Structure 1
Amino acid sequence: MKTLTYHADTHTTIINECDEDNALARLQHEVGGYVEHVDASPLGIDGLDIWVNDMGAADGLPYAFSLPHSGGRVDLFGNVVFTRCDEYGDTIGLTDSDIKALEAKLHAA
Structure 2
Amino acid sequence: MSEITPDLVRHLGVLARIQLSDEEVERLTGQLDVIVDNIAKVSQVATPEVPATSHPIPMRNVFRPDVVGGTLTLEEALQNAPDASDDRFRVTAILGEEQ
The reply to whether TM is greater than 0.5 is: no
**Which structure has more strand as a fraction of its residues?**
1
**Which structure has more helix as a fraction of its residues?**
2
Normalised by the length of structure 2, the TM-score is 0.23
Normalised by the length of structure 1, the TM-score is 0.21
Q: Which has the higher contact order (CA 8 A, sep 6+)?
A: 1
